[in-house]
Amino acid sequence: MHRSCNDRAVDSGSGAWDGIDTVLCDLDGVVWLAHQPIPGSVEAIAGLRSSGRRLLFVTNNSAAVRAQHEAALSAIGIPAEGDVVSSAMAAASLVRPGDRVLVAGGPGVVEALEERGAEVVVNDGQGSADGFDAVVVGLHRDFDFDRLSVASAAVRAGARLIGTNTDSTYPTPTGLQPGGGSILAAVAAASETEPVIGGKPHEPMAELIAGLLSTPERPFDPTRVVMVGDRPETDGLFARRLGCRFALVRSGVSRPGARIGDDIVVEFDLPDLRALARLASSSDLRQ
């Protein structure tokens, strides 16, 4: 069976699923919208796991600490202890232990940086902007002009500018909301500096995932992995960076019928996670 994605043939037949034993799953727009599960997603994840496949939740949401991600998933019936990888973790890999870091982001960024061994100062819009090795920017809801001023001044004073991600929006049940990338764009513009990015689709997140999926007995094998996401310019390009397949689900940012950039390779074009689980199941039955 073939489906069309921008007039290109997309193989959504069960045979294309053969050999996939690891699913990298985005959260916002794939599993839930503002922590409200998308219909069928909980059952889909349970089905994929019952088939013996490994699930990792790979999210550019940097605001929450790891335990909050896990608790939110548990609350909708998805056990996830140790299975959530966030852009905060990827961004933290870009600083050195002992670095003094100004955080213009949420608690998830603070947690990841402290685990890295950095000295963390949360940006409250007050105090000196001098003496920082890096400024790490992610989504936070108290961002304002004073915080922008301090963060951009710290970068102009010599601190490296690191972003957790460049997602300008994220999906909610009531529509798109501004994402961490919008805040990062403001700091980058005010400091006239190009940031280094940790999260999808960039190399730090790819290195983090490859490391988590590698063992001494079995190195990372991208041919056995599929990245499932709703944002082609993030999840699709991340799949390309990893060298794995990309499954686009149109339950979040990418709406049904929306055109996809010609630089994005979509192996599976499906309405939602439930449809993807059905595809995987039909492959299992065929073998």
Q: Which of the residues 21, 28, 230, 269 is marked catalytic?
A: 28
Q: Is 11 a catalytic residue?
A: no
Q: Cα–Cα distances in Å, from 96 out to 5, 116, 174, 273, 279?
A: 42, 7, 39, 38, 43
Task: Kindly state the tokens that stand for 46.
Answer: 């349970």
Q: In whole angstroms, give the CA distance from residue 150 to residue 174.
A: 32
Q: Which of the residues 7, 21, 26, 235 is marked catalytic?
A: 26
Q: In whole angstroms, give the CA distance from residue 115 to residue 126.
A: 25
Q: Are 279 and 7 in contact (CB under 8 A)?
A: no
Question: How many other β-carbons are positioned within 10 Å of the β-carbon of residue 70?
Answer: 19
Q: Is 7 a catalytic residue?
A: no
Active site residues: 26, 28
